[in-house]
A and B are shown apart, each in its own frame.
Chain A
C-alpha cells in the first residue's frame, strides 16, 4: 500500500533531478536539509532515524544528494525522507518533508476493531508486511 506521508506523496516518485530541484528551492530559502530513514512507517511513529546531522550552509543540492546516495546504499529498502528546517522563528522547525525512497514492497496498514465496555469500539492500526 502506497505510503502517503509528507509532501508530493500522491505524485509519482520524484526523479533525482526533481529531488535536486526541490532541494535547490529549500537552499534558496535558507532552509537546512536533513536526511532521515525509517523501517516502520506507522503514521504514529514520529521517530525516524537521522542519517547524519541536517546540513547547514550548503549552496548546491549536490551535497544533500551525496548523503542521500550514501543513505540509499545502506538503507535501500527503507523509507527515506528529506526534511527542510526553517529557522526564521528561532527554532529549526520542519517546514517541508517529502519521501524520496521507498521499499520495493511497501507494507500495508491493518486496522483492528476492538469491542470494549459493552458495544463501544476501539480502533488501532498496525503495520503488516
Chain B
C-alpha cells in the first residue's frame, strides 16, 4: 500500500463488512446466551478496531484468535462457532471462513506413526477457516502416558503458534474438564486469548427455543400443548442426562412422531395443512418424563440420543 488512509469510519466499516449482519443474525437466531453475545460483540469490536488500525498503518500484530468455548451439552457451542467463523471471515481474519468440526477420533491415530499424518490432514482441511475441536480434553489422557493424544496436542500447539494467520482453533467442552485440561497443558492456556462460557438455558428460554424450532419446521402447538411443553422442560431438567436445547429438540421430534402416529391411527378422510401441523397436548403428555420420570437405564438411552 503506497498511500495510507488518514481516517477511518468505524461505523461505516461495521456496516459494510457485514459484521452487523452476523451480529444481528446471532441476536435473532440464538435465544438467551446474553453473556456469550456480549463477549462476541466485544471480540468483534476489538477485531474491527484492529483492522482499522491496520488500514491506518499503525503497528499491529495479528491478534491471537484461538478460543475456548465451555459449557454444558446443548448450549449452542457448535452453532456459535459456526457464526464465529462467518464473523472472522467478514472481518478478514480468516480467508475462507469454513468450519471443520472434529473430535479426538479425527485427530488421534490407532498406532505409532498414524497420529501425525491424521492430525496434519485435518489441519490442512481447516486452513483458511476455523477448526472446532469438540470435547478437546479427550486429547489428553493422563492415565496413559503412551497415549497418542499427546502427539496430536504437540502438532496442534505448533500450528496454532506458527499459522496464526491461517486458521483459528476453537476448543469446546464441559467447563470443569476443560479446566483440568488447560492445567495439564499450559501451552494451550497461553495460546488461547478468548475464553467464552456458555450458561445453561432457563426454562423460559428453552420454551422460546421450542417455539422457534416449531416455527422453523412449520409446526404449531395448541395452548394446552404449549403449557405441557413448559411443564415438560421443568420435569426434564430434574432428570439425569439433561442436555439443554438438544433434549428439547429430541422431545419435539418425539412429539412429532406421536402426532404422526395419532393422525395415522385416528384420521378418516382428507387432512388439511392445519391438522398436519398442529401438536396437541396429548402428543406432549404421552412422554415418559411425565409418568414419574425415567429409570436410570432408559435415562441413559435418552442421554445418548
> What is A's interface to B at a CB cutoff of 8 Å?
52, 55, 57-60, 62-64, 66-67
Contacts and interface: CB of A to CB of B under 8 A. Distances in A.
16 contacts: A55-B121, A55-B124, A58-B127, A59-B98, A59-B125, A59-B128, A60-B128, A60-B166, A62-B124, A62-B166, A63-B123, A63-B124, A63-B127, A66-B120, A66-B127, A66-B163
Nearest to B117: A52
Interface in B104-144: 117, 120-121, 123-125, 127-129
B114 to A, nearest CB: 13
A60 B95 contact: yes
A52 B118 CA distance: 11
Contacts of A67: 124
Interface string B254-270: 00000000000000000
A97 to B, nearest CB: 20
A58 B129 CA distance: 10
Interface of B: 95-96, 98, 117, 120-121, 123-125, 127-129, 163, 166
Most chain A beta-carbon contacts within 10 A, residue among B95, B120, B127, B166? B127
A2 to B, nearest CB: 31
Nearest to A70: B120
B86 to A, nearest CB: 14
B117 A62 contact: no
A59 B117 contact: no
Contacts of B127: 58-60, 62-63, 66
Closest 3 A/B residue pairs (Cβ): A60-B128, A63-B124, A62-B127
A63 B125 CA distance: 7
Contacts of B96: 59-60
Contacts of B129: 59-60
A53 to B, nearest CB: 8
A62 B128 contact: yes
B125 A58 contact: yes
A58 B120 CA distance: 12
Given A60-B95, A60-B96, A63-B124, 16 more contacts: A52-B117, A57-B125, A59-B125, A59-B127, A59-B129, A60-B127, A60-B129, A60-B166, A62-B128, A62-B163, A63-B123, A63-B125, A63-B127, A64-B124, A66-B163, A67-B124
A113 B125 CA distance: 51
A55 B129 CA distance: 16
A60 B96 CA distance: 7
Contacts of A62: 124, 127-128, 163, 166
A127 B124 CA distance: 36
Nearest to A63: B124
Contacts of B166: 60, 62
A58 B124 CA distance: 7
B63 to A, nearest CB: 19
A65 to B, nearest CB: 9
Contacts of B123: 63
B96 to A, nearest CB: 4
A95 B96 CA distance: 24
